[in-house]
Structure 1
Amino acid sequence: MTEDFSSERRGADSEAGPVVVDLREYRQSRDPLPVTFHRRELDMILWIYGRMVGEGEWKDYAIDHLKDRAVFSVFKRSGEMPLYRIEKNPKLAAKQGAYSVVNTHGMILKRGHDLRQVLKVFDKVLKLVDP
């Protein structure tokens, strides 16, 4: 008296059997996670930011996590265009380097594989002053 519904569910894929799909992998393939800065990367960037705020050069910042890159924007005033953008683009990691510093006009000031080296663009050269 028991009915076998398994024969009704079988179609053209009856030999393959059921397919188990990991929901996390499925969601990532449909809507990939945005690119983010890791903790150590943010520590390096915020250390430079804090130094520049202390010198009175920078006033505000914004962090954007996009599908293809992460951007840390630095502002002199909050209503203006960013003075600098520190970008992380993983697609360029094997080529010119994932990290870059871009100025207001869109010119890349420094690019590389190591964020610490790229952030050296903000180091000021000490000048000898005659007494």
Structure 2
Amino acid sequence: MQGSIDFEQLVAAVGDAVVVSDASGAITVWNAAAERMFGFTAAEALGQSLDLMIPQRLRERHWEGYHKTMATGQTRYGSDVLRVPAVHKDGRALSIAFTVALLYSAQQQVSGIVAVIRDETARFQEDRNLRKRLAELEAQVVSQ
């Protein structure tokens, strides 16, 4: 195995979206997979708030948790896969799954957060359709 890794190449090549934001929530890394998933080019996303992919109704809750994490250096989601709604540039709803990790400065201060994100919109819709069909079948059995 190679002694050093070109992390810029790694982030560019990976199939999942990689989004890094600084302590204030401004986007500092936005890879090609993030472009495909959310519809914003890197030029449009870099320097912008994470709000560009967070549905309006969830922003307040998101920012409460984000600022608390930046202040305390702790997240309860370190190894959990989070599944939440997101929004595409064109306004359509997405269902995403992601993991997060905190990033630290040389002085060991929390400097940002990285999220590795996968679009699960199709899987979420399939699950919803299966649950609906199951409920319909159960209702038929009960009514017989």
* Shorter-chain TM-score above 0.5: no
Q: Which structure dedicates a bigger proportion of its chain to helix?
A: 2
Q: Which structure dedicates a bigger proportion of its chain to strand?
A: 2
TM-score of the pair, normalised by structure 1? 0.27
Point out the structure with max Rg over C-alpha. 1
- Structure showing greater relative contact order (alpha-carbon pairs closer than 8 Å, 6 or more residues apart): 2
TM-score of the pair, normalised by structure 2? 0.26
